[in-house]
Amino acid sequence: MSREIKVVPLSAAAFAPFGDVLDASGTPDKMINAGLCGRHHDRAALDFGPDGRAGISIFNAEPRSLPYELTLLERHPEGSQAFLPMTENPFLVIVAPDENGTPGRPRAFMTAPHQGVNFHRGVWHGVLTPLSAPGLFTVVDRIGKTANLEEVSLAPSYVVVP
Ligand SMILES: NC(=O)N[C@@H](O)C(=O)O
Ligand code: NI
């Protein structure tokens, strides 16, 4: 099977097996602040395990470009991880199904402006992959004493294409 992965637009339905899409689409769940703010309430399944806690970090990642050689997938067995862009730049989101402890064929999604994602606990994903500078993101994930990281090198690699 081809090692080329074609990027498709991110959709909540397609991403549902892997995590949550975070955006202000649709009608807000609540209007707050004297009706001046729409609250899209409680939109992510956060999970930090019994021994972890939630943390907010700021990532400043080097932008990549397409075609993008995918050589590594990782997962966090003890917690979820959310990528929330601090710019309006779309970014690349790569995930893969788990097949008996190793990643299956990856899938590549392109976010719309102002969209973030939350990977559910244990979901195989590519590392944070901005496509333009600045690659500034707020990341909400597990803080704990363990590494909470499994990495798999992909050989042969895949190429993510537009
Ligand atoms: N390692 C780390 O903090 N980031 C990765 O988990 C990632 O998905 O980018
Ligand atoms: Ni990660």
Query: What are the residue ranges spanned by the domains of the chain?
Result: 3-161
Mean pLDDT of 64-81: 98
Confidence of residue 1 (pLDDT cuts 50, 70, 90): confident
How many angstroms separate the alpha carbon of residue 26 from the centre of ligand 1?
Answer: 29
- In the predicted model, what is the mean pLDDT of residues 88-115? 98
> Does ipTM top 0.85?
yes
pLDDT, average across residues 55-62: 98
Mutation probe of ligand 1 site: the residue of 149, 151, 152 with most atoms within 8 A of C-beta: 149
| Over residues 43-71, mean pLDDT | 98
| pLDDT band at 86; cut points 50, 70, 90 | very high
Distance 148 CA to ligand 2 centre (A): 9
Q: Given 1.10.10.10, 2.60.120.480, 2.60.40.10, 2.130.10.10, which CATH number is that of 3-161?
A: 2.60.120.480
Q: Give the distance (Å) from ligand 1 centre to CA of residue 129.
A: 10
**pLDDT at residue 129 in the model:** 98
Q: Which atom of ligand 1 is nearest to the CA of 126?
A: 8
Q: Give the position of tokens 């990528």.
A: 83
> Closest-lying ligand to the alpha carbon of 129?
1
Report pLDDT for 142.
Answer: 98
Residue 98, number of CB atoms within 10 A of its CB: 12
d(CA 26, CA 28): 6
Tokens 């600045």, located at residue = 134
Answer yes or no: are the C-beta atoms of 149 and 111 closer than 8 Å: no
For residue 90, the one-letter residue type is: P
CA of 8 from ligand 1 middle (Å) equals: 22
Q: For the chain, state the CA radius of gyration.
A: 16
Ligand nearest to the CA of 139: 1
Region 71-83: mean pLDDT is: 98
pTM of the model: 0.97
**Site to substitute for ligand 1 among 72, 117, 128, 136, most atoms within 8 A of C-beta:** 128
What average pLDDT does the chain have? 98
> How many whole angstroms from 27 Cα to the centroid of ligand 2?
30
Q: What angle do CA 78, 100, 124 make, to 5 degrees?
A: 45
Place 20 in a pLDDT band, splitting at 50, 70 and 90.
very high
What whole-number distance in Å separates Cα of residue 4 and Cα of residue 102?
19
